[in-house]
Structure 1
Amino acid sequence: MNEVVIFEGFLDTILEVSIALAPLVLFFIFFQLVYLKLPRMEVLNMVKGVILTFVGIVFFLQGVHVGFLPVGEILGQGMIEHTGKWVVIVVGFILGAVATFAEPAVRALSDEVEKVSAGYIPQIVLLMTLSLGVGLAISIAMIRTIFGIPFMYILLPGYGLTLATTLITKENFVSIAFDSGGVATGPMTVTFIMAFSVGVASQIEGRDPLVEGFGMIALVALIPILSVLLLGLVYLRKEKQNERELEKESQRNNYYSQEG
């Protein structure tokens, strides 16, 4: 009986993933036959990778359908029913931070940033910044749901502040920030936290889950962007402070050399 529940809709999931991967496979086959002409071993390794990707995505999406979504919704409903409204703000922050910390796309981005910047932006710094940013976004979403705050009252000022911050932060953090907003809305965060938000909204009297339960992903995309831009301001301030210290040291050295 449990096997039936676990693999319910499994064939549909296989079909969805096949349709998603088919264009990529066809493109590769075309370019391999016409342009690339890669050695047989490299092609074989790519085929193995595609197979592993297919299997991994199928089981991941199946787990999302039968596990993540139901658990997230049940957890949101149960917390409102048994612990009260205010607890979900704190729990939402923790869940958002933990889910983002475990998000593969976020780890891949932070790792690439550390490599490209030659360690100037450490992986753990960017990872913690994004995790805290998503946690804050979930908390804001919970506050919005509890009080019934119109979505645009948060979204418009938020994006206005974000665009203003791009003008004063370090330039190399701007592109990283907007990419961060995209990777933060990955499958780990979206599936579990969105279901949690819908579950919370469904248990608050006078709240429509269709209105209050959604829109959270926009906040999850917004707040990490702003948090990385603010991180750029911290780096900018640190650099200016280091420049002032170097300038003072240079002036002292010139003074002592003249005295000598």
Structure 2
Amino acid sequence: MSIIASTAQHFLSTFVGTIRDVLPIVIIMFGFQLAVLRRPVANWRKVLAGFVLVIFGLSFFLMGLELALFPLGESMAMQLTAPSFLFDSDETVPLHIDWTEYYWVYLFAAAIGFSTTIAEPSLIAVAIKASQVSGGTIKVNGLRIAVALGVAMGIALGSYRIVAGDPLHYYILVGYVVVVVQTYFAPKMIVPLAYDSGGVTTSTVTVPIVTALGLGLASTVPGRNPMLDGFGLIAFASLFPMITVMGYAQLSVWKGQQASKGDSQDAL
């Protein structure tokens, strides 16, 4: 009974906090609709029901993150970096553990980055809108996979940075140099979408798990500071999707050019 009571109390506090967070959005939207546009809200019953569903859905989702995803991600990071997992029981644990010993961490980081991005609601919404606006030229699943691959690469590289203890700004500077060069050569229609794709990855599903992974790694790897080394993975999750989405567009253009060349040669 105590578990049910504590869970109900947790949900109530989360629910009240969600209402407090959503209320400014409601006030601004309805205020502009009624005071600036001076028009009634169309289908206001459906709109009101939608806001109620949003509040309940966000409350359950945030509660699930706090109770399951966040602690599980941190626990997995700690278990994967524990000396008892990295070395056999009869081996002596060295004072300095080489970065290659943490290969399971890199694999887990890539897998969790890919899976959380595929499940990211904001990315699904952006991919659907991009497909509609482009008339189907941009495929929904193609964009989602390209972004997810970028996040997987970024989180894996960011995990290596934490293990190796390298300065964060070196990686970010090099990454943005690559982005600037790609921006010059990539198809112009894909550049704004690629930049937005980096932002939609830092949303409700990805951020808690990736943050937990970074803090868990920095807390377990010897010589790392959770405050200095634990954060920064989100920057990798934002940066690398820009690279992969523009690379996906460049690859599509190249394949189209190769196909047109083959058709021209067949015609001759």
TM above 0.5, one fold? yes
How far off its partner does 1:5 sit?
Answer: 4.7
Distance 1:33 1:158, change over 3 A: closer
Aligned match of 1:88 in 97, 105, 127? 105
Distance 1:4 1:38, change over 3 A: closer
Residues 68-103 of structure 1, C-alpha deviations (whole Å, 9 max, x = no match) = 211111111111114332210111111111111111
How far off its partner does 1:163 sit?
Answer: 1.0
Distance 1:246 1:102, change over 3 A: same
Q: State TM-score, norm by structure 2.
A: 0.86
Residue of structure 2 in register with 1:33 after alignment? 34
Q: State TM-score, norm by structure 1.
A: 0.88
Residue of structure 1 in register with 2:225 after alignment? 208
Radius of gyration: which is bigger? 1
Q: Name the CA distance, whole Å, in 2 between partners of 1:31 and 1:176.
A: 28
How far off its partner does 1:249 sit?
Answer: 5.5
One-letter code aligned to 1:222? L
Does residue 98 in structure 1 map to residue 115 in structure 2? yes
How far off its partner does 1:10 sit?
Answer: 3.8
How far off its partner does 1:246 sit?
Answer: 5.0
Q: Name the CA distance, whole Å, in 2 between partners of 1:31 and 1:146.
A: 50
The gaps in structure 1 that reach 5 residues or longer are 253-260
Residues 100-128 of structure 1, C-alpha deviations (whole Å, 9 max, x = no match) = 11111111122222222222221111111
Q: Name the CA distance, whole Å, in 2 between partners of 1:32 and 1:172.
A: 32
How far off its partner does 1:150 sit?
Answer: 0.8
How far off its partner does 1:203 sit?
Answer: 0.7
2:231 counterpart SS class:
coil
Residue of structure 2 in register with 1:218 after alignment? 235
Residue of structure 2 in register with 1:255 after alignment? none
Residue of structure 1 in register with 2:94 after alignment? none
Does residue 169 in structure 1 map to residue 170 in structure 2? no
Q: Name the CA distance, whole Å, in 2 between partners of 1:228 and 1:73.
A: 29
Q: Name the CA distance, whole Å, in 1 between partners of 2:108 and 2:7.
A: 27
Q: Name the CA distance, whole Å, in 2 between partners of 1:19 and 1:141.
A: 34
Contact 1:72 1:196 in 2 (8 A): yes
How far off its partner does 1:28 sit?
Answer: 3.4
How far off its partner does 1:243 sit?
Answer: 4.0
Does residue 132 in structure 1 map to residue 149 in structure 2? yes
Q: Name the CA distance, whole Å, in 2 between partners of 1:93 and 1:238.
A: 27
How far off its partner does 1:245 sit?
Answer: 3.9
The gaps in structure 2 that reach 5 residues or longer are 87-101
Aligned match of 2:258 in 237, 241, 249? 241
One-letter code aligned to 2:185? I
Identity rate, percent: 28
Residue of structure 2 in register with 1:188 after alignment? 205
Taking only aligned residues, the RMSD between alpha carbons, in angstroms, comes to 1.9
Residue of structure 1 in register with 2:57 after alignment? 56
Does residue 151 in structure 1 map to residue 168 in structure 2? yes
Contact 1:7 1:62 in 2 (8 A): no
How far off its partner does 1:182 sit?
Answer: 0.7
How far off its partner does 1:146 sit?
Answer: 1.0
Contact 1:74 1:199 in 2 (8 A): yes
1:86 counterpart SS class:
helix
Q: Name the CA distance, whole Å, in 1 between partners of 2:179 and 2:8.
A: 43
How far off its partner does 1:32 sit?
Answer: 4.3
Aligned match of 1:114 in 116, 131, 143? 131
